[in-house]
Each structure stands twice: as C-alpha cells, then as structure tokens.
Structure 1
Amino acid sequence: MPGSGTDSTKPWTAGGPLVILVEPQLGENIGSAARAMGNFGLSRLRIVNPREGWPNEKARIFCAGADRILDAAELYPDLRAALAGVNFAFAATARERGMAKSVVGADAAVAEARQRLAAGGEVALVFGRERTGLYTEEVSLCDAILTLPVNPAFASLNLATCVAVTGYEWAKAQSAGALPFAAPERSPLAEKADLFAFFDHLEGALEAAGFFRSPEKQPSTTRNIRNIFHRLGLTKQDLATLHGAVAALVEGREGREARKAQNNARAAAKKATGGGEGGGA
C-alpha cells in the first residue's frame, strides 16, 4: 500500500552515490526509481534527456512521496555532461559488452562506492533506457560494469527495480544488515507450577465436557495434550490468555445449559397449566 511505511516523524536518510537515469522513456519509471531511492537512502538524482520532458506529473505521482528527490533532480543533455564532477562511475547493464572493465554485482559495487565516497571521491550509478539500456558508447564512459545474477533467458529488469536492487545493497551495507525494528520482548517463560495449574484447569474442563470418552485412553491423551503445550515454550502472558479462554468456554457452556434448563422449565409449566391454549364449552 502506498505510504503504508511512511513516518514523517523520523529523519530522512540522504546521501550515497549519484543515481543517473539516461534517457528514461516514461515519467512513471522516473517516479518509481525516485521512490526506490528514497526507500534505501539514496537522494541524489541526475536525469539525462527524459523522453517526455521535465518536470513530469506522472513522475510526481509514482514517486509516492519522494518528492524531495524529484525537486532536487538535475537535468542534463547527455551522459558526458551528467558525469561532471564524478570520479568513478558504474554502468548498469545486463549484456556483456566485450570491454576490459571490471564486472561486479550490486554488493561489490556498493562496497567500492562506500570506500570511494569516504575518501572524498564522487561516485555514480548509471542506468539506461527501459527498452535498450545503455548504449555501448555510454558504457565506455564508465569505469566498471554493474550487473545482477538474473535469469539469462530473461535478463531485462524494470528500471526502478534495478535501482531498487542496488539501493537495497546500499542500505544493507550502511546499516550493517540491521533491520529497522525487532519483535517485541516476550513476557518471561512460565514457571512449571503455573504450567501445571493450567493443565489442571484445562483437563478439568475437558473432563467435565466429556472430552475423555475412553477411560483407557485418557492417560495417553492427557500426555499428548501436555506435550503440545510443552513444545510451545509458553510465557506467563500466554498462560493468562489460555486460562481466560478455557474459563470463557466453560462459562459459555454452563450459561447455555442454564438457559436451556430455564426454557424447559417454562415450557413444562406452560403445558401443565394449559397456558396459551384456547378452550371453551
């Protein structure tokens, strides 16, 4: 869902290498690429000669709130101009180009980019057109080739997807793989005495309900039930919830039986007095 993970109270992560989109054909893909950049902490976008012109309303719609990236995007007429101030550039391509250049995956490209940026250099990640990718001449302007281990029979990636995969590696390296949140702390594990008290409660309710139909099988059935709960590693909070569930089931059954008995009594009294039936001489 768009915006479902957005929290304006948290600081916006920015920086990273430049992302250069060469002649993107659709505003939708520019916006989606900007969204992917925002997801993973990349904020500097350069756009080379977009086919539908700039600014682009569809890009604004598809960025899903990453407007600041589009607002700060820089427009260039060609890749040579867009590489101004860049010391090292990775050309993203799915095709072997026959060039004597290093070929690296997204993780290795990000590792090198982090080193170069930390040393004061400027690094760019260059992505090509949706239909044809980068031209060979454009790849020749870059220092290394960035590619991904995709299906060789179907290697064409959506532009924004390619940006997202690379951005993910950037974010993972920046955070050392730490996730943004963890499971909440569980309440303490239940003590054996508490667990045994729950067994007594549950087994008593089951016996009252007629669950143990065979006296011969009752001991083994009871052990099986206990082993189910032993395997779960129940906490004190878990036991409190289970006690409540068993109590509600028992009270519900007793309430239904009481109401049934009351209804039967009323019906018997009515029948005995002939109430509600018309009669006459």
Structure 2
Amino acid sequence: MAQPVSPSGLTKSPAIILVEPQMGENIGAAARAMANFGLVDLRLVNPRDGWPNERAIASASGATHITDRTRVYDTTEEAVADLSFVMATTRRERDMLKVVRGPVEATSILAGYEQAGSRTGLLFGRERWGLTNEEVALADEIVTLPVDPKFASLNIAQAVLVMSYEWRKVVLGEEEVTPFSTPDAIQAAPKADLIRMFEHLERALDAVNFFRPPEKKPSIVRNLRTMLQRAQFSEQEIRTLRGVIAALEKRETRPSAQKSDESAD
C-alpha cells in the first residue's frame, strides 16, 4: 500500500469522476474548481443532459482545457477501468470493510500512488443521493469530509473543490502556500514623529474638552499613546493621521512634514 507523501512539484493528478451528474452547472463548477487547483482529468458517467453541455461550459468560467478534454462513459466500471487506485467519496457509513480516510490523508495517499506511476481517481456521486453501494465497492478506499453531522449534505462541486484544494497543498509540498504574500515590513516612523503626532492629537482633544474629568487626563493620554504605538505607523501614515487631526480641527491646510514642529502644530 502506498504511504502518505508530500511530493512537491508532482505533475500528475487523480481523475475526477462524476457519476450520473444531473445539472450542467454542477459539472461546470466542478471543472472550475479543478482548474483552480491544477487537476485536469474530468470524467462523466452517463450525465443526465448529455455532453457537451452549454450550461456546464458557461459555469466552468473559461476552464476549457478541462471541458474540452472531458470524457464520457456509459458505466462507472468503464470510467475507472484504466485506474489502479480509486477512492469513493461518501458522507454515509457503508456496510463494507474498507479503509476510511479524511481529505488530507486521502490526497496524500493518492499522491503516493501517482508518484509511483499508478493512475488514481476520485468518485463523486449524484447530487441527490450519492453513490450506490455497488459503485462504492469498485473503490479501494473511502474518503469522507468532516462536515457537521447536523447538516452533512454537500454540493458535488463543493466536494470536488475541497478535494482539489487538498490535492494542491500536497502538490506544493507545503501546508499553506498562497499566490502572493504579506508585503515586506514597512519601516516604522521615528519616535520623534510619533511623539509630535501624540501631542497634536492631545491638543486637538483638549480643544473640544475631551479629557473629562481633568484629573483623569494623564491616564487617558497614556492609554491613547499605548494603543497608537502598537500600530507601528510609517512616516506616511503619521502624515496622513496628522492630516486627519488637522481636518477635524477645521484647518484649511494639513501639517507639512517639511515645516518645523511649531509651524506644523
């Protein structure tokens, strides 16, 4: 039996097999989910409205590299005939002696087989009632999603999306990889700029009698400075905030960073 692996850069992927899908929109949404996460082999078993399907192609939102290559089969047996290892998705417990896995472990197992050169597949059942016991019996193992048992019904395209996402994480070889990252840290403004902003804000608050009662002003000022300092404002952010304070003071112009502290305040 193949063991769980995380083969970064794996180019092969499991076949996604939809058994007797009823709605073209669901087929298209499944194709779109596959495209989002790098799967390409979509197979349909006896789709109710035939194939090709205009609604499916429209719902695929441009994933034509998948819909153009989608293959249609008369039976589930034919759809899995060239595969060496198949997992059946189901939310119901079956009276079968089969290994049951969650999506994370399942995709890792599938990747192990693919990396070893064996073709694999994931079976998804009908929108209304899933896979028959006979169809589940064709699979080597079962994969089920950790849904809330009080509302376990999952749209077929959503199920494909979840498994495709987990597959993508295995392929990338990392638990969490995003197409873009947090910007590089912006250098915090000098403390002198921060202190001038504090003093500017405090004068503006004094002008509207914010510090009440007066004897509590020192503690309120400390709390304000503590809160604002945690933000680690950049120089540009300090200038923006001082402009906001100036606007609240109804000044015609904002404080300029080029002026002296006296003229700015």
| Both structures adopt the same fold (TM-score exceeding 0.5) | yes
Unmatched tracts of structure 2, length 5 or more: 1-9, 254-265
Q: Is the Cα contact below 8 Å between 1:36 and 1:160 reproduced in 2?
A: yes
What is the alpha-carbon distance in structure 1 between the residues aligned to residue 151 and residue 194 of structure 2?
56
The one of 49, 54, 65 aligned to 1:52: 49
The one of 79, 83, 101 aligned to 2:80: 83
**2:233 is the alignment partner of 1:234:** yes
**1:191 counterpart residue number:** 190
Q: Is the Cα contact below 8 Å between 1:22 and 1:47 reproduced in 2?
A: yes
Change (3 A) 1:219 1:147: closer
**1:29 counterpart residue number:** 26
Q: Is the Cα contact below 8 Å between 1:20 and 1:48 reproduced in 2?
A: yes
Change (3 A) 1:254 1:105: closer
**2:222 is the alignment partner of 1:223:** yes
Change (3 A) 1:94 1:219: closer
**How far off its partner does 1:211 sit?**
4.3
What is the alpha-carbon distance in structure 2 between the residues aligned to residue 125 and residue 48 of structure 1?
13
**How far off its partner does 1:32 sit?**
1.2
**2:61 counterpart residue number:** 64
Question: SS of the residue aligned with 1:187?
Answer: coil
**2:122 counterpart residue number:** 125
Change (3 A) 1:185 1:244: farther
What is the alpha-carbon distance in structure 2 between the residues aligned to residue 150 and residue 218 of structure 1?
53
Q: Is the Cα contact below 8 Å between 2:18 and 2:123 reproduced in 1?
A: yes
- Which amino acid in 1 is paired with 2:248? L
Question: SS of the residue aligned with 1:47?
Answer: strand
**TM-score where L is the length of structure 1:** 0.78
**2:219 is the alignment partner of 1:249:** no
Q: Deviations over 1:250-274 (max 9, x none)?
A: 3x2469xxxxxxxxxxxxxxxxxxx
Moved more, 137-146 or 238-247: 238-247
Q: Is the Cα contact below 8 Å between 1:86 and 1:122 reproduced in 2?
A: yes
Q: Is the Cα contact below 8 Å between 2:12 and 2:114 reproduced in 1?
A: no
What is the alpha-carbon distance in structure 2 between the residues aligned to residue 215 and residue 83 of structure 1?
79
- Which amino acid in 1 is paired with 2:114? L
Q: Is the Cα contact below 8 Å between 2:90 and 2:131 reproduced in 1?
A: yes
Identity among equivalent positions (%) equals 50
Greater relative contact order structure (CA < 8 Å, 6+ sep): 2
Equivalence map 1:1-281=2 (5 Å)? 15-175=12-172, 176=174, 177-208=176-207, 210-212=209-211, 215-250=214-249, 252-253=250-251
- Which amino acid in 2 is paired with 1:231? R
What is the alpha-carbon distance in structure 1 between the residues aligned to residue 35 and residue 66 of structure 2?
7
Moved more, 68-77 or 150-159: 150-159
Q: Is the Cα contact below 8 Å between 1:14 and 1:42 reproduced in 2?
A: no
Rg bigger for which structure?
Answer: 1
**1:8 counterpart residue number:** none
Q: Is the Cα contact below 8 Å between 2:14 and 2:120 reproduced in 1?
A: yes
What is the alpha-carbon distance in structure 2 between the residues aligned to residue 150 and residue 214 of structure 1?
54
Question: SS of the residue aligned with 2:52?
Answer: coil
What is the alpha-carbon distance in structure 2 between the residues aligned to residue 18 and residue 152 of structure 1?
28
Change (3 A) 1:208 1:148: closer
Say what the alpha-carbon RMSD is for the aligned residues. Answer: 2.2
**How far off its partner does 1:25 sit?**
1.2
Q: Is the Cα contact below 8 Å between 1:15 and 1:44 reproduced in 2?
A: no
**TM-score where L is the length of structure 2:** 0.83
**How far off its partner does 1:154 sit?**
3.4
Change (3 A) 1:215 1:145: closer
Q: Deviations over 1:221-276 (max 9, x none)?
A: 333332221232323332122122223333x2469xxxxxxxxxxxxxxxxxxxxx
- Which amino acid in 2 is paired with 1:225? L
Question: SS of the residue aligned with 1:126?
Answer: strand
**1:6 counterpart residue number:** none
**How far off its partner does 1:209 sit?**
5.0
Unmatched tracts of structure 1, length 5 or more: 1-12, 256-281
Change (3 A) 1:246 1:85: same
- Which amino acid in 1 is paired with 2:48? R
